[in-house]
């Protein structure tokens, strides 16, 4: 857009130069007619035509500047809407990833609760083992007491021997039960740890796989949107550059023609000035002055004809500018339809993703 603004500035300077030349030409013509006398009506008419031409040139310049400003504003609006749409899509995907992460966290909390319950069960079994150890110790102590009592009374009663046998059998039973509990607890504890470890590893692998898949999908979607946006922006810039070059080329051609016409008029004015000076030098010859005045009037008529042709050319320039405005309007409508079509497709893809 910087090169286009530079071209527009150059065109504006050329228009200002053409206007200044026309003003200088009008001043010279006014001086010549004032010196010749009797040309007030022609001067007023030429000044009105000149002012009208200057006004129309300024209108063309303003309309061209407005077209460029409108195009810049529309481009910025389209880019802003695309950016907002991409940001909304990214936020939606972020929310979906957040929901997936929440579900995974809930599963992880459930597994943690299960591990906590297993730890509580293990603690209960350990307490039961300690209780059995205490009971075994008490029985061992009681058995030792009976053994000591039996040693003191080698010829003790049969009841004492039977009691000792029962205590030894009970001690053996408790010892075996304790060993079985310890072995079973160790095996269950090891199995539970392995199961929990395996489950956590599987969950972690699933989470990592899902996270990597979601990141890849998001990166691919963002890359696709970025490429599509860059492609559309490049197409828009190319179309705008082509249209701008065409418009500036037409405008430069018009300014060039106006400059050539202005140079011709300036040459004629110079010739007319020479004639007027010659007329002032030979005022004593009235007839010759009248002849020179008639020649000057004919040249003024030629100037009027040139001004009329210049007005027609300016009218053609305005028609071309109106056609350029219509083309730009159709281009804006086409861009809007393309944007709406893209928005509809994006909205449809999003509904399909949510329903899936």
DSSP string, 78-97: HHHHHHHHHHHHHHHHHHHH
DSSP secondary structure letter of residue 154: T
Whether the model clears a pTM of 0.75, i.e. scores above it, the answer is no
User: What percent of the chain clears pLDDT 70, i.e. is strictly above it?
Assistant: 35
b/e burial code for range 312-351 (CB count within 10 A of at least 16 → b): eebeebeebbeebbeebeebeeebeeebeeeeeeeeeeee
Position 53 scores a pLDDT of 59
- In degrees, to the nearest 5, what angle opens at C-alpha 156 toward C-alphas 150 and 161? 70
* Mean of per-residue pLDDT scores for the chain: 66
DSSP secondary structure letter of residue 38: S
pLDDT tens digit sequence for 136-189: 666 666 656 655 655 554 444 566 556 666 666 666 666 666 666 555 555 555
Using an 8 Å Cβ cutoff, are 122 and 185 in contact?
A: yes
């Amino acid at each position: 857009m910087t090169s286009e603004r530079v071209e527009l500035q150059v065109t504006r300077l050329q228009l200002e130069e053409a206007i200044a030349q026309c003003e200088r030409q009008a001043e010279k013509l006014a001086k010549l007619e004032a010196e010749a006398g009797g040309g007030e009506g022609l001067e007023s008419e030429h000044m009105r035509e000149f002012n009208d031409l200057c006004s129309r040139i300024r209108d063309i310049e303003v309309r061209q500047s407005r077209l460029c400003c409108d195009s810049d504003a529309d481009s910025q609006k389209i880019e802003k809407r695309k950016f907002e749409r991409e940001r909304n899509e990214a936020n939606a995907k972020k929310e979906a990833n957040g929901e997936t992460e929440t579900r995974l966290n809930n599963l992880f909390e459930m597994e943690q609760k299960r591990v906590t319950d297993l730890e509580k069960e293990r603690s209960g079994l350990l307490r039961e083992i300690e209780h059995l150890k205490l009971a075994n110790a008490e029985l061992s102590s009681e058995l030792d007491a009976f053994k000591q009592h039996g040693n003191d009374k080698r010829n003790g009663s049969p009841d004492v021997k039977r009691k000792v046998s029962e205590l030894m059998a009970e001690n053996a039973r408790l010892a075996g039960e304790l060993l079985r509990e310890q072995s079973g607890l160790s095996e269950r504890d090891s199995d539970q740890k392995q199961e929990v470890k395996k489950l956590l590893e599987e969950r972690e692998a699933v989470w990592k796989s899902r996270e990597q898949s979601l990141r890849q999908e998001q990166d691919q979607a963002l890359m696709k949107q970025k490429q599509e946006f860059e492609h559309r922006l490049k197409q828009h810039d190319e179309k705008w550059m082509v249209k701008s070059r065409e418009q500036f080329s037409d405008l430069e051609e018009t300014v060039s023609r106006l400059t050539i016409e202005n140079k011709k008029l300036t040459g004629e004015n110079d010739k007319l000035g020479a004639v007027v000076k010659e007329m002032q030098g030979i005022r004593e010859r009235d007839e010759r002055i009248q002849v020179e005045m008639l020649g000057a009037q004919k040249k003024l008529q030629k100037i009027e004809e040139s001004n009329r042709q210049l007005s027609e050319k300016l009218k053609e320039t305005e028609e071309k500018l109106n056609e350029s405005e219509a083309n730009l309007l159709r281009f804006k409508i086409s861009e809007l339809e393309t944007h709406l079509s893209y928005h509809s497709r994006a909205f449809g893809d999003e509904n399909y993703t949510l329903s899936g």
